[in-house]
Every structure is written in C-alpha cells, then in structure tokens.
Structure 1
Amino acid sequence: MWAYESVFYQIYPMGFCGAPWENDGKTVNRVSKIATWAKHIASVGCNALYLSPVFESDSHGYDTRDFRKIDCRLGSNADFAAVCDTLHENGIRVVLDGVFNHVGRGFWAFRDVQEKKWDSPYKDWFLINFDGNSNYNDGFWYEGWEGHYELVKLNLRNEAVIQHIFDCIRGWVEEFDIDGLRLDVAYSLDRDFMRRLRAFCDTLKPDFFLVGEVMSSDCSPFLADGMLHACTNYDCYKGLYSSFNSMNMFEITHSLQRQFGPEYWTLYKGKHLLSFVDNHDVTRVASILQNEKHLPLIYALMVGMPGIPCIYYGSEWGEKAVKQPGSDANLRPCFDEPQSNELTAFIAKLAEAKKNSKALCYGNFTTRLLTTKQVIFERAFEDERVMVAINADDQPFTAHFNAEAGRARDLITGEVHDFGGGSELPPYFAAYWQVF
C-alpha cells in the first residue's frame, strides 16, 4: 500500500483558499491556489495530500449540500480537476475528506423533505420522526450528529443512500483521479456501511486508501480485515506534546509500547495509524510546546515512530495558533505564500528518511533505552534496523545500551555513528541510526 510509505500534508481548503464562511452562491476559482503550493509540498518531503472538505456545503465544509459538486467558493469541478492533475504531476497523491455520517441542512435531499414532508421520496434517507419537531421548526424531528442539528445524520442502512454515496465516490475517481478518502467521524459510521465501502473502493483502483477519524484509545475494530487501512492516532497525539512539556518520555513510550510493542496483547501489530502533532481541530504544536527547542524533536519522534506521518499546513515553519471556543478560524488560516526555515528543512530530511526506510515504514517497535528525558527505540523490518534516538534535555547525555551492532549511519545527517563506549546525545538531539 502506497500510503504506508508516504508522508502526508494536510490542507483545510476553505481557510487555506480564503473562502467566505457562509456559502454566498458565487463561483470563484480559489482552489487553484493549492496547485501553486505543489512544489512546496513536495519540497517538505510530502508525497500525499489530505484535503479537508471540498464539496458544496452550507459553511465550513462538513455540512455538505451536494457531494457531486465542488463548493462554488472554491471554484468549479474543472478547476479542482486541474489542481489534482498538478498534484499528481508533482508526485503527490490526493486523499479527500469523505463526510458520510451527516450532511448540512442545505443538502438537496433534505431540502426536498423540508418541502414535501412525508411525501418526499427521500424521507427515509434520514432518521426522521414526523410526530416531533426540530429546533428549526421543520415540522418533524430528525437525528443530528452528537446534538448538532445543523448536521443532519444520514441513514446509512438505506440502500439508496449507500448507492448515492458510492456513485459520488466513483465520480470523484473518474473526474479527479483521487487516491483515497479520509472518513470524517468514522467512529460514528455504521460498521456494515464501512465494510461495504471498503469492498466498493477496492474495485475502483489499486490501493485506494481509506483512513478513518477515530478518537478512541483502541482503533482495532476499525482496522479489522475488510475495514479501514488506517485510523488517526489520537491516542498518541496528546502523549507526544505532553511527554516534552512534562519532560517524561515514559508517557509516549508507554502508548507506543501498548500499540506496537512485542507483547502478545499489542493492539496494532502490522497495522498502521495516521500520526500527527496538530491538525485543523487542535492548537498548533508550536503554540502548545513550552520549549521551542523541542519543536524539531517532536517531529523527529512523530515521523520515526510507527505510523503514517501527516504535516498540517503552516506548521512546517512553526506557525502558531490556539484553539478558541466557538471558532476554529484561526486554526485554518489563509497564507499568502508558503514559508521555509530551518524547521521546514529538518522536517524534509525526516520525511526523506521515512520514505526511504522500510524499517521506519513497516518496522516493529522495541524500546532500547528510556529515561524521563531520553528515549531510544528500534524499528526493525526484514534485514534493516533503525534506532530512533531523542534527547529532550538541555544537557548532553551518554546512552549505554546494547545496540547489538558496532556502527550506524544517521539517516537525517548522513553521519556515521559508533556505538562503542556509549552513544553521545547532544542537547536537544534527534537521530535515526540505521545499523550496518
């Protein structure tokens, strides 16, 4: 699977392209801006792009009006197809947000129910009770997503709904040549629908990738045979920044050991999760880390641990933003142009190391050394072994552990490392030692 050997980049198109919050009905080609960033995305070392919602919606994108049409605030279907062509020409795969649990109140089929009530042929597309009433005084009650009634829950047990979604996905492959889907709130989706979705997508193109948004500490039900290829690793999201802020590497190592370690109860042996230090829903990592010198290190740890790394646009140069109650606009900004600095260059080196190492893409996880401020773990696959070493301290540290090897090459710097007599870890240090 190509995704297991990829480094993802995430863009929230509505914010990135400077689209107005409310759908004004005016078609403006803003989405072509994404194509102008293709070379930057590739220069960061990313070879896959995850795009948050792009389809016609009421406001933020997750309240879909029409799965068949690119949001007019972003442009036309032809505009977006040209963007996908440019991305593919630059070696970047395209994964779209599949928002299938719910739609917006402006969704065409729901509008028909509002008008015709029980006479609408689409009344069974939603979970409706005509004996009640909604907060919007529709004359009927309907189920919303987690109490958000601007998000109307779809009936994923209705065959017409399923076939409509499948037809739309087929259209996205034919029109835009997409390479996969990220399933929004996958934890809320009907499991039978998810299984049918996987079987359907397997017929569309080889290695069509499905990754689900899952908040649970156990994603294994979603990674069973015939289900998803990957899930979001929220279990390690908090542990990554908390381990640095509390100077306690035991926290993240415990989570990784639980997920991928050698013990018989390990959750995800041979499975893959999508790793991240921030995204469109959370405070940017540069704002949450208490010591800015830990910023390169948290990326080194995230890229080096088991999983598929994902970089959120702007964070590769250390952009800051804090999640605010009631609005995520500051987390989803419009930048005039991409920036690059030492952090960007460092992340690019990490990405290249990851993509070119089978051990970093597929290897198991074994802890070699662990203190509160340092961690060294091994990723091994077939005949390749890579040691990921992190020193979060402002002081040098000499690591004594059995590397079962004499020397290694750092995949980040290319320098040769000698394990004899102890391994010297300078302050605020990260290395990927490939044993030879």
Structure 2
Amino acid sequence: MNEPEWVQHAIWWQVYPLGFVGAEKAATGEPAAAHRLLELIPWLDYAVELGTSGLALGPVFASETHGYDTTDYFAIDPRLGSLEDFDTLVAEAGRRGLRILLDGVFNHTGRSFAPFQQVLTQGPGAPTAAWFSLDWPDGAGPGIEPGYRDFEGHHHLVALDHEEPAVADFVVEVMEYWLGRGADGWRLDAAYAVPSSFWADVMQRVRSSHPDAYFVGEYIHGDYAAAVQAGGIDSTTQYELWKAIWSSLNDANFYELAAALERHNALLAAFAPLTFVGNHDVTRIASKLEDPALVQHAAVVLFTVGGTPSVYYGDEQGYRGIKEDRAGGDDDVRPLFPPSPHDLSPIGGPVFALHQELIGLRRRNAWLHRARTEVLHLSNEVLAYRSVDESHALVVLLNLSHEDQRLGTAGATSVLAGQAAVDDGSALVPARGWAVLG
C-alpha cells in the first residue's frame, strides 16, 4: 500500500472548472472574462461547510475544447486564468485545510499539442515522432500528415506511445511540476488505456520526490486490484459500485447491491477505491434515479461503506442533468454554478443538509475508509448491513418498500442518522426510509 496517510480522511468535492465558471466551449485568444479560476475561491468555504476535505479539479490545463484534449501541460487554460490564479487558489484552499487533486490526461493529447504539431510540420524526421503511434504514407516528408492511433475513435485526440521513454520522462516532469506548485495528487484520466508498466515506472519516479502524493486511476471495467498492484497507483474509480447503487434502487433489487458490496470488500483488502454516485462523465444521480427521493439512500451507501468518497458539484444540491451520447452531450452534467453559495436556490437545501449530516458522520468515523460490509438482512426491497473494522461497527438499514419494516440491529442501540425507532434489539424503519445505527 502506497496510499498516503492523509487519504484516510479525504472526502472530495469534485468540480469541472470549465463548466463551473461558464467558460467558452473552445479555446479562444480573447476569453470573455479573465481570472475565472478565482471564481472558485468563494466556494471554498462552502466545500468546508459541506464537510469535504479536498477539491478535486477537472482539467485546468490549456486545451482545445473540453479540457481532455490538452495542448500545454504547463499552462493554465486561458479561459480559466493564469499560473498566478492557480497559485492563489491553491493557497486559499490550503489556508482552509483543503487538498487539491488535479486531472491529468496522459493517454492522449489534443492535436495542437506542440510535440504533435512538430510532427505535422517536420514529418518523419521530427524529434518527437516517436511520441506517437504513426502510420506514414510512402515518401512522406515535412507537411504530410500521417495516420495515427487516437483515443477510442475520437480523431482529435492523439494517443501517446507509452513505450517511448521520452513520453514517460515528460509525464514525470508534468506531475512533479504541479505537485511542486502545491497540488496533492493526480486523477489519471483513461488510465485503463495506458499500460500498467508505464504507470509503474512513472509512479516510482514521482514518489521518490513526492512521497505524500495521491494517485487515482480512471478504470471503468476489469480487475481494479490488479491495476493498482501492477501500476503502483493508490486507487481506482469504483464504477461497479456506482452502477449497483442506482440500478438496485431503480429496480428494487438489493441483491445486486449486496453482490457489489461483496466485490467491494475484496477490493478493500488491497486498496481503498474512489467511490461516487456522480461525476463529470455520467448522468446525475437525481436524474438517474426513477424516484429522486431515493437520492438519500444512494448517499447513505456512499458514506457508510469503505473507500474514498467523492461528491460531484451540484449533487449535494439535488442538481439534475442527463449525459447524452452526442457532441456536447456532457454539457448538461457540467453546468455553470452561481457566483456564490448565497445565490443557490433554497430548493437544494434539504439535500445539502443530508450530505452535511452524512459527511459529518463519515468524518467522525474515519475508520470507514477501509471498513468491510456484512449483510445482515437481504430482500428485494430491504437491506441491512454492518460496516466494520477490527474495533468499530455501524449498522445501516435501507427500506425501499412502501411499508414500515422491523429489522434486527445486531447490537446497535442508537440512531446516528436517519429515522428509526430502536427497541429491544430491533428497529422500525419507516416506509422508503433509512437509518444508520451505532
């Protein structure tokens, strides 16, 4: 386990900056507003009030459009501001005890990335030609464009060749530069598309100078534990649990969630996954659930099982948004936020209060970071589980039925969150209700 000790207490508030500040959809030489990154500063106290301990930023580096087509890894996107603005944000976050997680796109780049432009200008003899997987036509020379491997059919995203040592050197340099400017770790975008041997080399080198840094890879399918071990990273995104949470709530099928929690237990034996019910790539949980009232149940699971929880900005206010498979299909889940927390609609107040309550519970029980779950009662509509470590336990009761349910408490005697009437070793949970017992 390489995970830094501080991660045990980490709860991220994830923000997609380009959307949050209403930046232009594409790079421009004259952004309509300057220093937009500083517009996050009024929200830092909000993140603290929510209970989170870190700010997980989406892409902030110069790019062509959405940030995942990076063009300059050493520059802040002009639509967001400057290096000085970044430094100010980091300092203000640090003053409030908030960590900073950056989003690094190291599988592919935008076409305007200088080393690729060098290839287009100079041809096969370009010193950076080996950085990419290129297919040159016969007789190719300067000014001739080669075929190239892209990212999942997106031709504007040029895949890097991770067998090239210079690419690893470059990624190490980028990571160390921003860690040196105050970042605390990296989310590794599309980590699943990069050979684990590449990550292992890069991690070893970066950790030698920044041993307290945190690295979480984006993995959607596959053997998460093997990816962590082979790549030397700290964690992966827990998409299996995300899917099981909303799917089991929609289908009133807690058997699916129970199976996912068993799998989650196996992962926790090796590492603490990054857990979530929303992020910048998926439909909002309030829109994904057929009954939005069950957002409560989804949040309860998120904050009472092992892992490192992440809250996607707006989910704590009950925001809705649907991701669509089309150009611009992410815009609805990457919205503009108001200038300050005072401008939020009061409609989101109850959902915010729920998140505060559950995050507070989580912060008071930091041992949950590596807790395992034991299923105590299971039916389609009712689930009871105990989250435990060597010396602590909480009992979670979830009721999807339209009738009150009486469940055993496994020795728990007090209601820590939610609603239940506890009496003589059992608890009465209201219809469509939940409770956390201690």
Secondary structure of 1:424's counterpart equals strand
CA contact (8 A) 1:96 1:181 kept: yes
Q: Please, what TM-score do these two structures have when normalized by structure 2?
A: 0.91
Report matched runs for 1:153-164 at 5 Å. Answer: 153-164=159-170
Q: What's 1:398 paired with?
A: 406
1:378 partnered with 2:382: no
Distance 1:116 1:226, change over 3 A: closer
Q: What's 1:263 paired with?
A: none
Secondary structure of 1:56's counterpart equals strand
Distance 1:196 1:417, change over 3 A: farther
Secondary structure of 2:168's counterpart equals helix
Shifted more, 7-16 versus 200-209: the winner is: 200-209
Query: Given residue 291 of structure 2, which amino acid in structure 1 is its aligned partner?
Result: N
Report matched runs for 1:225-264 at 5 Å. Answer: 227-260=232-265
Which residue of the other structure, out of 196, 208, 213, is the alignment partner of 2:213?
208
CA contact (8 A) 1:355 1:361 kept: no
Which has the larger helix fraction?
2
1:26 partnered with 2:30: yes
CA contact (8 A) 2:196 2:231 kept: no
Q: What's 1:97 paired with?
A: 103
Shifted more, 230-239 versus 26-35: the winner is: 26-35
Query: Given residue 189 of structure 1, which amino acid in structure 2 is its aligned partner?
Result: V
Q: What's 2:319 paired with?
A: 319
Query: Given residue 290 of structure 1, which amino acid in structure 2 is its aligned partner?
Result: E
Query: Given residue 82 of structure 2, which amino acid in structure 1 is its aligned partner?
Result: S
1:191 partnered with 2:219: no
CA distance in 1, matches of 2:406, 2:86: 52
Residues 156-215 of structure 1 show CA distances to partners (whole Å, capped at 9, x for unaligned) of 22222211221121110222x101000001101121111112212322334311111101
CA distance in 2, matches of 1:92, 1:3: 12
CA distance in 1, matches of 2:437, 2:20: 37
* Equivalent residue pairs, number: 422
Secondary structure of 2:36's counterpart equals coil
Distance 1:166 1:217, change over 3 A: closer
Query: Given residue 362 of structure 2, which amino acid in structure 1 is its aligned partner?
Result: K
Q: What's 2:432 paired with?
A: 428
Q: What's 1:7 paired with?
A: 11
CA distance in 2, matches of 1:313, 1:115: 41
1:38 partnered with 2:44: yes
Report matched runs for 1:328-407 at 5 Å. Answer: 328-336=330-338, 337-338=340-341, 339=344, 340-400=348-408, 403=410, 405=411, 407=412
Q: What's 2:304 paired with?
A: 304
Distance 1:30 1:393, change over 3 A: same
1:290 partnered with 2:314: no
Shift, 1:298, TM fit: 1.0
CA distance in 2, matches of 1:410, 1:204: 46
Q: What's 1:107 paired with?
A: 113
Shift, 1:270, TM fit: 4.2
CA distance in 1, matches of 2:402, 2:98: 38
Q: What's 2:89 paired with?
A: 83
Which residue of the other structure, out of 139, 148, 171, is the alignment partner of 2:145?
139
CA contact (8 A) 2:385 2:396 kept: yes
Shift, 1:319, TM fit: 0.7
CA distance in 1, matches of 2:171, 2:230: 22
Q: What's 1:170 paired with?
A: 176
Shifted more, 143-152 versus 196-205: the winner is: 196-205
Q: Please, what TM-score do these two structures have when normalized by structure 1?
A: 0.92
Shifted more, 85-94 versus 204-213: the winner is: 204-213
CA distance in 1, matches of 2:12, 2:77: 23
Shift, 1:120, TM fit: 1.2
Shift, 1:30, TM fit: 0.7
Shift, 1:72, TM fit: 0.7
CA contact (8 A) 2:217 2:233 kept: yes
Secondary structure of 1:411's counterpart equals strand
Distance 1:138 1:52, change over 3 A: farther
Distance 1:125 1:382, change over 3 A: same
Q: What's 1:122 paired with?
A: 128
Which residue of the other structure, out of 59, 66, 69, is the alignment partner of 1:63?
69
Residues 215-268 of structure 1 show CA distances to partners (whole Å, capped at 9, x for unaligned) of 1143121121661211111111111111111111111111111231xxxxx344
Query: Given residue 390 of structure 1, which amino acid in structure 2 is its aligned partner?
Result: L
CA distance in 2, matches of 1:133, 1:237: 51
CA distance in 1, matches of 2:350, 2:391: 33
CA contact (8 A) 1:369 1:377 kept: yes
Runs of 4+ with deviation above 6 angstroms:
none
Query: Given residue 429 of structure 1, which amino acid in structure 2 is its aligned partner?
Result: G
Q: Percent identity?
A: 29
CA distance in 1, matches of 2:230, 2:125: 41
Gaps of 5+ in 2: none
Shift, 1:418, TM fit: 4.3
CA contact (8 A) 2:246 2:288 kept: yes
Query: Given residue 12 of structure 2, which amino acid in structure 1 is its aligned partner?
Result: F
Query: Given residue 82 of structure 1, which amino acid in structure 2 is its aligned partner?
Result: T
